[in-house]
Structures are given as structure tokens and as C-alpha cells.
Structure 1
């Protein structure tokens, strides 16, 4: 009987990026690792549930959805999400950060302090610096201050992030842009009193992601489909994106598209799922 696996998503930890599977199995994604799987031909893609609970009706979800949740489970997930601004009473300390993804692409965000830089790795931030630390609502006010006063967004579409990874400027140039925004941010009037300003100390993730010398992508996987297969070797991993060297060139696979499907080991070297050209319109399936 063919073993069927269900992916629980890509996680960043001390050992780098790993794919998680139901039952607790983990697969490392080091450079050169072979990734090969086939989607089971029957059963469709089902909702992954929310907050650790299975979807009560196992609702079917669209192949292009990066959230892989039905409407009701997505609502439940947002109801407990700091990112969606629905939680206001979390007593834990938070950090405000500036993240750089490419020239002219700097965003502001917040993350619970205990998570360290994990949120930045999850978003695919090429480099970042902390801005401040303090209570959740103070961090929220600082985030809003930067959006209003400096027009720094709190979201950058994934398509834009992917589009510049192969043409990044030298480290000194991207850190200089980040430093300039940081200096303007900490000098703003109206900075929340309970939020401690952080000095500029940039962290660059290009080596962790494997972006040095990364060529332009030849395509981006649009969705997985029943009976389809993906095979390739890991060239780079940034945020949720796997850059795979395949028989069809360098392809980008958003690992969030893998959740909700039943997957088996691929017995052939091919890519038989829909692929679009880089830069073509895509559906934004999340806040970041």
C-alpha cells in the first residue's frame, strides 16, 4: 500500500528550514537536497483547520490558496492572530522591526520577543534590524506611526519579494538603505514612551537563504493538482519559498501550496503541475 503523507508546512529553526509532516516527521531542506513528491490522484485538497484543531467538515479548498483553510477556519485563525490585529491583551513583550526585501522594499512589523528572528526568516526578509521593544499596544502604535509618518508599509506581496532575489544589490547598499529608514524612524516625534528604542544592528539572511549567486527563476508553481508531481534539487529557501533546480529550469514553489494535499513519493523526474512565468499575476493568500 502506498504511503500517503500530509505536509504541515515549512518551519524555520536553529537547524534551518524544515518541512513538517503529520505524525511529527521532519525533512531538512539543506542546499542540494532532493525534493520529489506526487499528489494523490483522488481526494482533493482539504482544509487544514485552525489553532491546532482539524476542520470539522474537512472542507475542500482551492489549489491556489496559500492559507489552505475554509472560510470558517480562516475566521477562527484570524480571531486569535496578532498579525490581523485581533489580539490586544497579550502581556508578553514585543519587538518592532524593519525588514528589507529589495531596493525600495522596506516594511515595518512586530513579533513577540520570545520568537527572536524567526518571523523575519518566515517572511523571507533579506536583512533586518530591530526598532524597539515593549508592550504589544506600544509596538502597535509605533508600527502605525511609521506607516503614517514615513509611509513604510506593513505588507509586501510575495511576488515582489521573489522578483528581486536574483538581482540584489551588494550587502553594504542594502544595509545603508535600511539604516537610513531606521534613523528616520527612531527620530520621529510621538514615539510611544513605553517602547524602548533599539540601536541599528543589521542582520543579513542572504547566506542563510542561499541567495548568493541565485539565478533568475524560470517559473513559479501556480498550484498543485491531483495526480501532479514536482521533482527538483534545493537551490535556495527564502521564507516559505523553495527555489528548485528541475527539468524545467529553476522553479519557485511556495511550500504553503503543499498543505492540505495527500502526497506520496514521486517515482519520476518531472514537473507536471501548473507553472506561470515570474511576475505574472498571482493570488495573495496571506497578510505578508
Structure 2
């Protein structure tokens, strides 16, 4: 019987993207590397639990869920998250940032200072700049100020990010223009929280880190994994949780969050046999049945 592994997701290190497996083992990814794995035949996807604890009932979850959690574990996980505003007493300092994902796609967000730029890599931010640093609730107020005064959202759908990665402006100056202008406008706001220290405009560009230069347009996106299915492709880029894989049907994007909760195993072959959704269209089975 072949050994099976459970994937914990994609993590970003100083050296690039790493697939993390149960037990903490990591598989560093480099451009040109062939990514090949199979889903255990007859297997089902089970809840990954919450806050480091296993799901008590090992609930079966949808193959299309990016969270891979049952309703109860999802509730517990969110109840202890900064995003849910349930940690008002968190003593750690926080950064407020502006992130750019493509033309017209700028968001505001916060991240713990101790995490550095990891959150921006995880979100697939092409460029970003810090706005300020201070206590959590002051960072939250600044985030709300930008949403209310400047109509800057705090979320950009992943589908929108993926759709523009192969057609980004070619020069760094063009890629930072929108956040440069917004950063200046933020500097003129009067209601900025006093306990939040402003940061100068110092843009960071992840284009090379993600491998986006010359990236071919994606033909489709993996919609879910299925028992007995195989993913096989050459890594041409990675951004946020997404792997851009060159396959027999063109470049296909795999959201690695779909890998969690499955038992995965080594596989042979060079064909993608999991369902793929054509960009802007229908699901294609991919030859499994």
C-alpha cells in the first residue's frame, strides 16, 4: 500500500513557496519543478479541525471548500481570529498596509508586525506598502477609515486576482502608481488614530518572487480534487495559495487550499485528471471517468 500524506497548505518562506505536510515536513517549490500527486482512490475529504485541534467527528467536507472545515470547526476557528474582532486585548503591534493585485484592485489590511510581509505573500499581493504601525484597535480604526473615507475595500476576490496576473503592467513604476497615490491621500486624512505611527511610502514588488514576468494566461482553474484524481504539471508561477501549472491543456491554476483534508499520495503520469473550470465558463471533468 502506498504511503499517504495530508497537506497543510502552501507557506511562504524567504526562499519562496513551500508545500507543508502533516508532521511539519516541507517540499520547497521552484520554477520548472514538476508537481505531481494523486488523491487516494475512494477517499473522502475530512475536516481539518480548528486552532490546532482535530475535528472530533472527522466530518466530511465539500471538495470545493477552500477552508476544509465543517460548520462547527469553522465557527471555532473564526471565534479566535483577528479578522473576527474577537481579540481586542491582543497586545502585539500591528501594521496597516495597502496592497495592489492589479489595475483597480487595491485593498487595505492589517497584519501583526512580527509576521513581517508573510501575510502579503499569502494573499498574492503584487505590490504593497505599509501605512502605519500601532496597537490592534488603532490599526482597525485606520482600516475602517480608509473603507469609509476613500472607499478602499478590505477584500479582493481570488478569482479577480488570478484573472489579471498574466497581464500586469510591465514596469515597477506602473505597478506601484495606484498605491503611491492612495498612500498620499491617506496622509492628508485628519481622523488618523493618534496611537498609530505613520509609515513612509516604501513600496515592495513581488513580481519576481511570484514568477509573474512573462506568465502565460491561465486556461482554467482546478475546481476541486476527487478520489482517484491526479494533479500533474510544471510549476511556472505561484502567488498567494495558487500554483500556476503548465499542463497538457495549457496553464491551469491550483488553489492549494483545495489540497487540505485529503489523503494524497505519489503518482505517475503527466495528465491532469481532476475537474477543471475553464476561465469564464464550465467545469470540465478532465478524463477521470
TM-score with structure 1 setting the length: 0.96
Structure 2 residue 201 is the aligned partner of structure 1 residue 191: no
Which residue in 1 is equivalent to 2:15? 15
**3-state DSSP of counterpart to 1:165:** helix
Equivalent position SS for 1:83: helix
More deviation, 251-260/14-23: 14-23
3-state DSSP of counterpart to 1:120 = helix
Measure the CA separation in 1 of the matches of 2:120 and 2:14.
14
1:5 counterpart residue number: 5
Pairing 1:237–2:238 present:
yes
Question: 8 Å contact 1:131–1:197 — kept in the other structure?
Answer: yes
Alignment of 1:51-200 (within 5 A): 51-169=51-169, 170-200=171-201
Structure 1 Cα separation of the partners of residues 49 and 188 of structure 2: 43
Q: Which residue of 2 aligns with 1:47?
A: 47
**Cα RMSD, aligned residues only:** 1.1
Q: Tell me how far 1:279 sits from its aligned partner.
A: 3.5
CA deviation profile, 1:6-26 (whole Å, cap 9, x unmatched) = 101110111211001112211
For structure 1, list consecutive stretches of 5 or more residues without a partner in the other structure: 283-288
Q: Which residue of the partner structure matches residue 285 of structure 1?
A: none
Tell me whether 1-10 or 151-160 shows the greater mean CA deviation. 1-10
Any idea what the Cα deviations from partners look like across 1:50-69, whole Å, max 9, x if unmatched?
A: 11101010000000000000
Give the number of equivalent residue pairs: 282
Structure 1 residues 280 and 188, CA, compared in 2 at 3 Å: closer, same or farther?
Answer: farther
- Runs of 4+ with deviation above 3 angstroms: 279-282
Q: Tell me: CA distance 1:144–1:280, structure 2 relative to 1, closer, same or farther (3 Å).
A: farther
Aligned partner of 1:223 in structure 2 is: 224
Deviation of the 1:84 alpha carbon: 2.5
Offset from partner CA, 1:185-211 (integer Å, 9 cap, x none): 121110000000000000000000000
Question: How many angstroms does 1:178 deviate by?
Answer: 1.1
Q: Mean Cα displacement is larger for which, 16-25 or 105-114?
A: 16-25
In the other structure, the counterpart of 2:279 is: 278
Cα distance in 1 for residues equivalent to 2:278 and 2:81: 33
- Counterparts of 1:227 and 1:90 in 2: how far apart (Å)? 44
Find the aligned partners of 2:204 and 2:83 in 1 and give their Cα distance: 22
* Residues 198-230 of structure 1: CA deviation (Å, up to 9, x unaligned): 000000000000000001001110000111111
Partner of 1:269, secondary structure, is coil
What does residue 267 of structure 2 align with? 266
